Structure 1
């Protein structure tokens, strides 16, 4: 996501004038989360300086000695949890979302799986052409939502699921497929705002979206 990440990690990229991680922490705090562990590597000192002294929620920072991959980073971050016997939330550092975590938690408890993924409906970046069987074009739809669901990068883990994460590597190609085979992985469809922030275009679009939706503040 250069040039934004030339001087900072992705979580510190600003959207509508504020770092992504600030939106995330405020969202978690509003749902009663008191302690957050941030696993980082690249430009970790920028995160450390920004989050120093934060109390709502309190933040602990763990620095990876080498890139661990997404699954390895999740497992590494879990080592900083204060309560190792209760379920915990986890989320990627490059997403913006607001949905009720209490409902997410209730769904997870009801299903009884080891891990529950939040799922976002897929929105294509392409425009769709509305065309009849005869070839007549009736109109165009820009970037519609499609009838597919993607991993939104927000999870609830049971404590025993942590050991199933790779020490190094990606959980979506190892842990998740195995749990799916065992019938111990569930998905919660988000009814609320979500978007990934992976490209320069995403940053620009999100910076226009956030003020319109929430007046620049997480809900």
Structure 2
């Protein structure tokens, strides 16, 4: 079943995948799950920034898929003043990214409406309303946010004869990458695997059928995946620069 774009409501529910171990963020993740790591200088964990952003974009209900040290995240959620309604689910056994997404989606309060999803280690600010409008205009079953990260190394520019022309510090990547933020139609949920990776099965199938869209995050909007201690330092530096 398809919908005309004007019939598709703006999603007001979301899944946050927050079960990763964050091994590359140790020792920060020795006693907490990755989304509970604080951005230096803010006093707020990554998940707190995400929930504030989702609420500001019109989301009223979020399901958080927990895993590693789930009780630490749940304790924080119980104590925090949250800007939206939050429930949690915990996988009794690893289901993979696609299976975990499907398991969490089963707890969404409005299963017949579209929904957002985000990875729990993403710190970003851009218009989800624009993204959902883009998704609806293309009548897609799934839409990925796309980011253009900076390459972590310096680049060397040469001419056709091999002469070095310039050195470019941390240039933008020539390729767009999956930014870990999604809009899904209600019908998408049943296409997810019960276990396994949707990016290797479901997404390629939808791409072949032209039912998968890619929304480039607007130029100038903030986006960073928090994978390492260096990412935490860079995020704090960028935050201070904004202030």
> Which TM bucket (shorter chain)?
over 0.9
Task: Spell out the pairing of 1:93-108 with structure 2 (5 A cutoff).
Answer: 93-108=120-135
CA offset at residue 122 of structure 1?
Answer: 3.4
Gaps of 5+ in 1: none
1:114–1:157 Cα contact (<8 Å) kept? yes
2-side partners of 1:86 and 1:25: how far apart?
20
User: What is the TM-score when the length of structure 1 is the normalising length?
Assistant: 0.93
Q: How does 1:6-155 map to 2 (within 5 A)?
A: 6-16=30-40, 17-52=43-78, 54-155=81-182
CA deviation after TM superposition for structure 1 residue 137, in Å? 2.4
CA RMSD of aligned residues (A): 1.4
- List, as ranges, runs of 4+ consecutive aligned residues in structure 1 with deviation greater than 6 Å: none
Aligned to 1:162: 189
How many Å separate the matches in 2 of 1:158 and 1:207? Answer: 35
What's the CA shift for 1:124? 1.2
The alpha-carbon deviation at position 39 of structure 1 amounts to 0.3
Distance in 2 of aligned mates of 1:28 and 1:39: 16
How many angstroms does 1:193 deviate by? Answer: 1.2
After TM superposition, give the deviation of residue 123 of structure 1 in Å: 2.1
Aligned residues of 1:41 and 1:66 also touching (Cα < 8 A): no
Whole-angstrom distance in 1 between the partners of 2:225 and 2:90: 23
Q: Indicate the residue corresponding to 1:172 in structure 2.
A: 199
Select between 11-20 and 155-164 the one with higher mean Cα deviation. 11-20
CA contact 2:150–2:170 (8 Å) conserved in 1: yes
Q: Which residue of 1 aligns with 2:13?
A: none
Higher strand share: 1
Q: Is the 8 A contact 1:179 1:185 kept in 2?
A: yes
Displacement, 1:125? 1.1
Q: Provide the TM-score with structure 2 as the length reference.
A: 0.84
The count of aligned residue pairs is 214
Aligned to 1:203: 232
Counterpart selection for 1:190 from 211, 217, 220: 217
